[in-house]
Structure 1
Amino acid sequence: MGVDELLDQAGNLKEALVDYASSPGFARRLSQALSDFSGLGSAAHDQWAEAVESLLYDPDQDGREPLLDRYLRTNKTIAPEERLVYEGWRERNVIGVFRVDARKGARLSLHNLIDEMDYPAYATVGAEAISVVQRGGYVMTRLVPIGDIWTISGTIRLFGPRDLPGVKTLAASLLKRFPTLVFNNPANVEQGRRIVGEHHTTFLNLFGAHIVSGTGADIIAAYRGFLNACNQASVAGDSEASALVTAAEQIAPDDSFPPDLAESDDVALYHHPQMGVSFLVCYGQVEGAYRTPPADAEDPAAELLRGYVEDKTVPGYVLEDLAAKYPDTVDAAYQAALSNPGFRWELDGAALLRRHRPNSGPGKDVPGVSPVPSSLIDEYRRLS
């Protein structure tokens, strides 16, 4: 297809998604999304459009899947070629704050301040709709791919060249809300992995193992000690940088930890060499279920094990780690917890994890630490 045909197709496919997201069945989710965007200073219509965009592409506050995922899963009548486009939008949509380097007709040359990549992007609604976009100015928008081009999805928030200080604040705020945005750039993925690897070494040196257990208070203190150790390692030999380091109590204040963690007597701090830190409430009891399998599905230990399997905040590699630690009893543990006497971890474990964590696993997981672009570091620190 030529560019014009691709833009027409993108416009039609997007219209179908907007109709889906704004249908009565999602009114409550749309209302919640609208409240999330009400304080961002944009006009009411733009807030509505931004809320619809967020519903389509981002998980909601309760962790429910983006509506685009649901649309693809439940709509069996999508033509194969259209499904491929939608899948590209799901996997590669890019929300960002962009510098406008050029405008020609319906085409914009954009540089993303967050992932530091360049995007040639087209407006599906035509050149006239973007005639007010200034070269040297800035826009906040979302881009989606079709064919070999990018198209603008949803609204464009405009900023002039003199708005750069506020634009940086907006970009840093967006990155703070969605830390994985930097990983659109493969170089940032590699940098994130390097940083997490260094942190893993720090963790092992500090605690002697990749996991440490205790009460909630113990683990909060351990985590803050780990943060301080990482900060000290990052500025070693640089006295000027040392003066800018933020204390762990400021990075992780008391109110940043959920009450169930802070008040629990059974919490683990787990560090993965690529994914970073996880907090695991009731970890010791779940490990006990692996060590001594529960009697049946009604056993409280079985309920805890099922909870870990179903809880998407518990990384799959934690369950894999426990299975490897207790190879002689893992099958019996899951047979009881799942009421499935034929379950075998070696044969069925991977499928179980895929079912409960479809967006995680090899090739999908990103590092647990997001590098911040140098141009946004000051604003990001201020927001922290």
Structure 2
Amino acid sequence: MVDRFVAGRKDLSAADREMLLGWRDPVEGIFEVRRKDGDAVVLLNLVDDLEYRTYSNVGRSAFRGVPKGGFLHTCLVPLHSADGAWLVSGAMSSYSRSSATDIAQAALELATNRPELVFRNPQKIEQGWQRMQEDRAAFVDFCGCDELVLPPAEVEVLFEAYYRHRQEAAVTAQPGRARRRRLPGLDLPFFELPSELADSDTVGVIYEQVDGLNFYADYGMLRDLFADPARTGRRRHQELLRTYLREESIAPLPIRRLAAAHPETADDVFRKLLRKPGFTWSEHGEALLRRRKPWYYENEPRPGVSVIGDRLGRLAAGHR
């Protein structure tokens, strides 16, 4: 919409055009009011851990009821005419300092559900990669490999044990904090598969260095197909591979893994599925994945772990 508006307004100055086009990438977040400075407020985004010098198009009166140490839930857009300045865009909800615990929980949920908001901060990208590699190494050490195929119930038991192991290791590393907090009981669920995975015969678990930790429904059946291409003639196996090729929620990773693990049969699997007798994985496989999953190649890889800032961590722990 912004692109169309700018294209249709020939009377806009270069500065106005730049400002409007910057609105295509707003910053959504939950902000702590650090201080007031003239007509502006300086906000710390609890999600991406960056500070924003923020104005309102109605002047300082917009922030009259916003106390230092309070919180705002809003969106910001850049003011390109003033370097480092931001403008409130849309609705703005204000919360008092006494709401810190609830605000921290909301910020944590936002960071978890929309990690792209965290990764506006380049430092969080770097930290995320580092933490993910550490977690992957711990997973491989705990499980013995980075790829598993198990019944759904066994996956849940495994990850409850793994997360318990990771939590105990983290608390052991900080004995002072261990005395101040009680670990959840062993009967509390740490991990539960979504229904589409829980209802499958097997679940594939792959913790890859770039694509991170992923779960795949009926991965055992797909592995059987690559082990015995004669199964390609069975409708269930064919439909499963088509689903893996078609679904945007499934990255190229599992297909690449199976083709690499079964180089002697991968060509036959795809020749029968695609009805292309000249298909070879080594020559045509990557092009096939690029055609079926262009979204994967268009986006910059991001870590599968989000690292929250120190301030959000303190608020979540109940420290003002």
User: Are 1:192 and 1:368, in contact at CA under 8 Å, matched by a contact in 2?
Assistant: yes
Indicate how the Cα distance of structure 1 residues 340 and 111 shifts in structure 2: closer, same or farther if over 3 A, else same: farther
| Equivalent position to 2:169, from 188, 210, 233 | 233
User: Are 1:291 and 1:329, in contact at CA under 8 Å, matched by a contact in 2?
Assistant: yes
| Equivalent position to 1:171, from 104, 107, 123 | 107
Q: Which has the higher helix share?
A: 1
- Higher-RCO chain (CA-CA 8 Å, sequence separation at least 6): 2
Partners in 1 of 2:77 and 2:258 — Cα distance?
A: 39
User: Are 1:268 and 1:281, in contact at CA under 8 Å, matched by a contact in 2?
Assistant: yes
TM superposition shift of 1:260: 4.1
| Equivalent position to 1:126, from 58, 83, 106 | 58
Q: Which has the larger radius of gyration?
A: 2
User: Are 1:269 and 1:277, in contact at CA under 8 Å, matched by a contact in 2?
Assistant: yes
Segments of structure 2 that go 5 or more residues without pairing to the other structure are: none
Partner of 1:44: none
Partners in 2 of 1:223 and 1:313 — Cα distance?
A: 22
Report the residue type matching 2:43 in the other structure. L
Which range moves more in the overlay, 242-251 or 268-277? 242-251
Partner of 2:224: 288
Q: Does residue 1:201 correspond to 2:201, yes or no?
A: no
TM superposition shift of 1:338: 4.3
SS at match of 1:372: coil
TM superposition shift of 1:139: 1.1
User: Are 2:136 and 2:207, in contact at CA under 8 Å, matched by a contact in 1?
Assistant: yes
Partner of 1:13: 2
Indicate how the Cα distance of structure 1 residues 113 and 315 shifts in structure 2: closer, same or farther if over 3 A, else same: same
Partners in 2 of 1:352 and 1:84 — Cα distance?
A: 35
Partners in 1 of 2:268 and 2:128 — Cα distance?
A: 38
Indicate how the Cα distance of structure 1 residues 85 and 303 shifts in structure 2: closer, same or farther if over 3 A, else same: farther
TM-score, length-normalised on structure 1? 0.65
Partner of 1:102: 36
The correspondence of residues 147-158 of structure 1 with structure 2, limited to 5 A, is 147=80, 150-158=86-94
Segments of structure 1 that go 5 or more residues without pairing to the other structure are: 1-11, 17-75
Partner of 2:292: 352
User: Are 2:27 and 2:76, in contact at CA under 8 Å, matched by a contact in 1?
Assistant: yes
| Equivalent position to 2:236, from 300, 309, 322 | 300
SS at match of 1:158: strand
Write out per-residue CA displacement over residues 60-86 of structure 1, whole angstroms, 9 at most, x where no aligned residue.
xxxxxxxxxxxxxxxx9999x999989
Write out per-residue CA displacement over residues 286-307 of structure 1, whole angstroms, 9 at most, x where no aligned residue.
1233344467687321210111
Report the residue type matching 1:319 in the other structure. I
TM superposition shift of 1:282: 0.5
User: Are 1:204 and 1:210, in contact at CA under 8 Å, matched by a contact in 2?
Assistant: yes
Partners in 1 of 2:173 and 2:60 — Cα distance?
A: 55
TM superposition shift of 1:201: 1.3
Identical-pair percentage? 24
User: Are 2:246 and 2:292, in contact at CA under 8 Å, matched by a contact in 1?
Assistant: no
Partners in 2 of 1:381 and 1:282 — Cα distance?
A: 39
Report the residue type matching 1:139 in the other structure. L
Partner of 1:337: 273
Q: Does residue 1:114 correspond to 2:58, yes or no?
A: no
User: Are 2:2 and 2:21, in contact at CA under 8 Å, matched by a contact in 1?
Assistant: no
Partner of 1:21: none
User: Are 1:172 and 1:379, in contact at CA under 8 Å, matched by a contact in 2?
Assistant: no
Partner of 2:72: 139
Write out per-residue CA displacement over residues 153-186 of structure 1, whole angstroms, 9 at most, x where no aligned residue.
3211122445444433432343344344322222
Partner of 1:252: 190
SS at match of 1:250: coil
Partner of 2:198: 262
Partners in 2 of 1:133 and 1:291 — Cα distance?
A: 66
Partners in 2 of 1:303 and 1:242 — Cα distance?
A: 50
Partners in 1 of 2:130 and 2:43 — Cα distance?
A: 28
Partner of 1:376: 312
The aligned length equals 302
TM-score, length-normalised on structure 2? 0.76
Indicate how the Cα distance of structure 1 residues 364 and 129 shifts in structure 2: closer, same or farther if over 3 A, else same: farther
User: Are 2:74 and 2:93, in contact at CA under 8 Å, matched by a contact in 1?
Assistant: yes
SS at match of 1:368: coil
Report the residue type matching 2:2 in the other structure. L
Indicate how the Cα distance of structure 1 residues 347 and 179 shifts in structure 2: closer, same or farther if over 3 A, else same: closer
User: Are 1:97 and 1:171, in contact at CA under 8 Å, matched by a contact in 2?
Assistant: yes
Report the residue type matching 2:59 in the other structure. A
| Equivalent position to 1:214, from 123, 147, 150 | 150
Partners in 2 of 1:199 and 1:276 — Cα distance?
A: 10
Partners in 1 of 2:305 and 2:175 — Cα distance?
A: 24
TM superposition shift of 1:324: 2.6
User: Are 1:143 and 1:153, in contact at CA under 8 Å, matched by a contact in 2?
Assistant: yes
SS at match of 1:235: helix
